[in-house]
Structures are given as C-alpha cells and as structure tokens.
Copies of this chain bind each other. A is one copy, B any other.
C-alpha cells in the first residue's frame, strides 16, 4: 500500500524534462498541510527509536516537513540558512552546497548557539538526489560535534547516488518515497522493503 506521500506523488506529481519531478502543488511551493503533517508522523514512527532532541533542515522547502516532524518529537527545529545573513553573524558552522536547481554553489550556515555536542539530531529534507545538501549538513553536524541519529527524506531519487552514499556511510536513512525511474512522463516508485 502506498503511504500518503507516495499517493500524492502518483496522483499529482508531474515529470518535467531532465528528470525533474514537479511536486510543487503539495510539497515545495504550495504546501498541503494534512499531507505534510502525516509525513511528520511517518518520520516520527520510524525514528522514535532514537532520543532525538533537535530536527535539522535546510531552508526553505525542508522547513514545513521539519516542523511537523519536530512537533511529534516535542523538540525544536533548526534550519540551516543559505548565504550570509547579518542576523546570523560569524559565529556559525558553514558548508558549501552545490544546488543543481539553482545551478550554483551556496553556503549554508547554522549558528553555533543552536547546535552543539549535546545534540542528537534528525536531519530531514524534501529531496535527496546526489546528496549535496545532505553532505553539507553532515559537514555542519561534524563541525558541531553533535550526533547525527538519522536522515529522513521525503522524496529520494533512487537513480541518483545520494541514497547509496548515505547508507554506505552507515547512516540510518529513511525515505518516504523513492523514485525508481521517470520515463515518458511516468513515475515509477521503488517498492519499499517492509519486512
């Protein structure tokens, strides 16, 4: 049976050219709140085995998912900010992330005030493709000496390298939907291993 996100992808997702999946009608431009809330519960059900005390994400599309996940855990969200902001200051952990969507490298920053060696972190994001954003966040977690407990991804592009890279690093990765391939406008989901 498909979960809530998988159903939404199959019903509403649109394959654009260049293997881009358009899901901005419910995920990353318009936000379907009951769906995102269910995704938060799904992440909680999987990761509640850990003592998570902070949910980390990257602005902007990860924030809604992170909020509803953090709500289930009863913990705060911290979102990495892109670029340099006056309000963040120099007291930050930083990493460079190449954005394929924007076609450029952006710096992501997390204030040292909100991440440290006491933190047990769940990183959540909307997409996992090549793992560029995930690598940046992992680098920031490394700098902070926090502990990465797991990575929760809404949509993993299974035909790109990010998922394998994280799993081979021993990271507990849980993707709500894995796109196996997109062909002639059709979306093929990878069957999840349930047992």
Complexed CA–CA distance, A66 and B36 (Å) = 13
> In the docked arrangement, what's the CA distance between A78 and B64, Å?
11
* Minimum distance in angstroms from A158 CB to a CB of chain B: 19
Tally of contact residues, A, Cβ under 8 A:
42
Query: Are B33 and A60 in contact (CB-based, < 8 A)?
Result: no
A37-B71, A85-B102, A102-B83 known; A25-B114 Cβ under 8 A: yes
Give the residues in chain B near A28, CB-CB below 8 Å: 87
Please provide the chain A residues from 17 to 33 with a CB less than 8 Å away from any CB of chain B in the complex: 20, 22, 24-26, 28-33
> Is the pair B86, A101 in contact by a Cβ cutoff of 8 Å?
yes
- Tell me if A30 and B83 are in contact (CB < 8 A): no
Which residues from B are CB-within-8-Å of A68? 67
Per-position 1/0 for A97-116, Cβ under 8 A of B: 00001110000001101100
* Residue contact B59 to A77, C-beta cutoff 8 Å: no
- The count of identical subunits is 2
Q: A59-B59, A71-B33 are in contact. Are A64 and B86 (CB under 8 A)?
A: no
Looking at the complex, which one of B25, B31, B74 makes contact with A70 (CB distance below 8 Å)?
A: B31
CB atoms of A87 and B22 under 8 A apart:
yes
Q: Which of A99-139 contact B (CB under 8 A)?
A: 101-103, 110-111, 113-114
Neighbouring B residues of A25 by C-beta, 8 Å: 113-114
Return the chain B residue nearest A84 by Cβ: B102
Which residues of chain A have a CB within 8 Å of any CB of chain B? 16, 20, 22, 24-26, 28-33, 36-37, 59-60, 63-64, 66-68, 70-71, 74-79, 81, 83, 85-88, 101-103, 110-111, 113-114
14 inter-chain pairs at a CB distance below 8 angstroms, sorted by A residue, are A22-B87, A25-B114, A29-B78, A30-B76, A30-B111, A31-B66, A31-B77, A32-B76, A33-B71, A59-B60, A63-B63, A64-B67, A86-B103, A87-B101
